[in-house]
Amino acid sequence: MKRLLPALALSAGLACTLPASAQFQKAEDAIKYRQAAYRVMAEHFGRLGAMANGRVPFDAKLAQENMAIVGALHTLPFSAFEPGTDKGAPNRARPEVWKEAAKFKAARDKLDGEMAKLSDAVKGGKLDAIKTAFGATGGACKGCHDDFRAKDYSAN
Amino acid sequence: MKRLLPALALSAGLACTLPASAQFQKAEDAIKYRQAAYRVMAEHFGRLGAMANGRVPFDAKLAQENMAIVGALHTLPFSAFEPGTDKGAPNRARPEVWKEAAKFKAARDKLDGEMAKLSDAVKGGKLDAIKTAFGATGGACKGCHDDFRAKDYSAN
């Protein structure tokens, strides 16, 4: 073991703010990544919502295209809330993300479940079912925002 | 036709800076969307590259997961270079994106082609083939950056 220790210490030192197991090299990278993933997802979720809520005509193919992007993206931000990523760039994650990790995980699981139902509804192509599932998914988004997203951005 | 004209004029008026056919409501939205899509894509392209270039051990499953995200994202930014989105938020798009639209389209097509080959290579699971395809795809990224991306961000 003795010989391993200097190597471990070196590798820990190189990681700066994040543990060596982290997928991101800097906290700033993780914060900007999750914000970016949310932004792209929100754009396509919004386009689906415009159809679900009758603001634009329903187009089953377009709904499926938007849902495919939302489906590919919605789990990504959660990989970027690693410990140590509360600071590093202005962001709105509340300390509860890490202090109440089990509750945050439950909010994520809730979203995953509603997203799966929404995906099925979009595949089914029935606007009424999509409307219901979209509302429930939006509720899961909002529930997590209410508990884990601050009103204002952090200073750094 | 006469009856349609007032409706068309009204819808054009509502769109403010972007044409009525635009998918984004404001130029700022389009700019931030394309920057966000590039950021998420670059993260996963980088993780694939770390394996292709031997900086981390090759893991076929992980390579496929990263490739799936890159595959879902790489066409998205191109939907957000609509006319009128050169300004609206600091960005690095050069005027040539719009002035040399055919050349920009060719650069995009080149990327699409290399991405398809990279996707096949990742599915095949042979590191040598992935390395070659990754290099060619990175070259397509760089070619487009060289011609269409400015060194510095615009002021607005």
The whole-number average pLDDT for the span B91-109 is: 98
Size of interface A-B (CB pairs under 8 A): 39
Q: How confident is the model at residue B18 (pLDDT cuts 50, 70, 90)?
A: low
State residue A88's pLDDT score.
96
- Whether chain B has a CB inside 8 Å of the CB on A20: the answer is no
**A39–B32 CB contact, under 8 Å:** yes
pLDDT at residue A61 is higher than 90: yes
Q: Specify the range with the lowest mean pLDDT, choosing from A12-16, A29-33, B42-46, B126-130.
A: A12-16
A 82-121 → B contacts, CB under 8 A: none
Task: Please report residues of A whose CB lies closer than 8 A to that of B39.
Answer: 32-33, 36
Rounded CA-CA distance B149/A42 in Å is 26
Provide the sign of the torsion angle of the four alpha carbons B65, A37, A136, A141, taken in this order.
positive
Task: Please report residues of B whose CB lies closer than 8 A to that of A37.
Answer: 36, 40
CATH number of A25-81+97-148: 1.20.120.10
State residue B156's pLDDT score.
87
Rounded CA-CA distance A14/A20 in Å is 8
The whole-number average pLDDT for the span A10-25 is: 58
State residue B119's pLDDT score.
98
DSSP-assigned states of every residue in chain A: -TTHHHHHHHHHHHTTTS-TT-SSSSHHHHHHHHHHHHHHHHHHHHHHHHHHTTSS---HHHHHHHHHHHHHHTTGGGGG--TT-SSSS---B-THHHHTHHHHHHHHHHHHHHHHHHHHHHHHT-HHHHHHHHHHHHHHHHHHHHHHB-SS----
Among the partner-chain residues A23, A68, A72, the one whose CB lies closest to the CB of B69 is: A72
The whole-number average pLDDT for the span A79-102 is: 97
- Whether chain B has a CB inside 8 Å of the CB on A51: the answer is no
- Whether chain A has a CB inside 8 Å of the CB on B47: the answer is yes
Answer whether A88's CB lies under 8 Å from A27's CB: yes
For B47, the closest chain A residue by CA position comes to A23
Q: Which residues of A29-51 are buried (b: 16+ CB within 10 A; e: fewer)?
A: bbbbbbbbbbbbbbbbbebbbeb
A156: which 2 tokens? 């750094």
Q: How confident is the model at residue A156 (pLDDT cuts 50, 70, 90)?
A: confident
ipTM score = 0.86
Which of B34, B40, B55, B69 is the best substitution to test chain A (most A C-beta atoms within 10 A)?
A: B40
Q: What is the largest CA-CA distance in chain B?
A: 67
Torsion of CA B108, B114, B115, B118, to 10 degrees: -170
Rounded CA-CA distance B91/B110 in Å is 23
- Whether chain A has a CB inside 8 Å of the CB on B68: the answer is yes
Among the partner-chain residues A29, A32, A40, the one whose CB lies closest to the CB of B37 is: A40
- A118-145: pLDDT as tens digits: 999 999 999 999 999 999 999 999 999 9
The whole-number average pLDDT for the span A40-67 is: 96
Task: Please report residues of B whose CB lies closer than 8 A to that of A43.
Answer: 24, 29, 33
| Average pLDDT of chain A, as a whole number | 90
Percent of chain B with pLDDT over 70: 86
Q: How confident is the model at residue B57 (pLDDT cuts 50, 70, 90)?
A: very high
> Could you give phi then psi for residue B71, rounded to 5 degrees?
-60, -35
State residue B48's pLDDT score.
97
pLDDT at residue A3 is higher than 50: no
- In sequence order, the β-bridge partners of residue A93 are A149
Describe the crossing of helices B101-124 and B127-148 by its angle, rounded to 10 degrees.
160
Q: How confident is the model at residue B53 (pLDDT cuts 50, 70, 90)?
A: very high
> Whose CA is closest to B121, among B112, B111, B108, B131?
B131
Number of alpha carbons in the 13 Å side-chain half-sphere of residue A141? 17
pTM: 0.87
Answer whether B70's CB lies under 8 Å from A74's CB: no
- In sequence order, the β-bridge partners of residue A149 are A93
State residue B5's pLDDT score.
41
State residue A34's pLDDT score.
98
The count of other CB atoms within 10 Å of the CB of residue B80 is: 24
Between 1.20.1260.10, 1.20.120.10, 1.20.1250.20, 1.25.40.10, what CATH number should domain B22-82+97-148 receive?
1.20.120.10
- Whether chain B has a CB inside 8 Å of the CB on A69: the answer is yes
Q: Which residue has the higher pLDDT, B86 or A6?
A: B86
State residue B23's pLDDT score.
87
Q: How confident is the model at residue A23 (pLDDT cuts 50, 70, 90)?
A: confident
The whole-number average pLDDT for the span B31-47 is: 97
State residue B13's pLDDT score.
37
Residue A155, exposed/middle/buried by CB under 10 A (0-12, 13-18, 19+)? Answer: exposed
Task: Measure in Å the smallest separation between the Cα of A40 and chain B Cα atoms.
Answer: 6
For A32, the closest chain B residue by CA position comes to B39
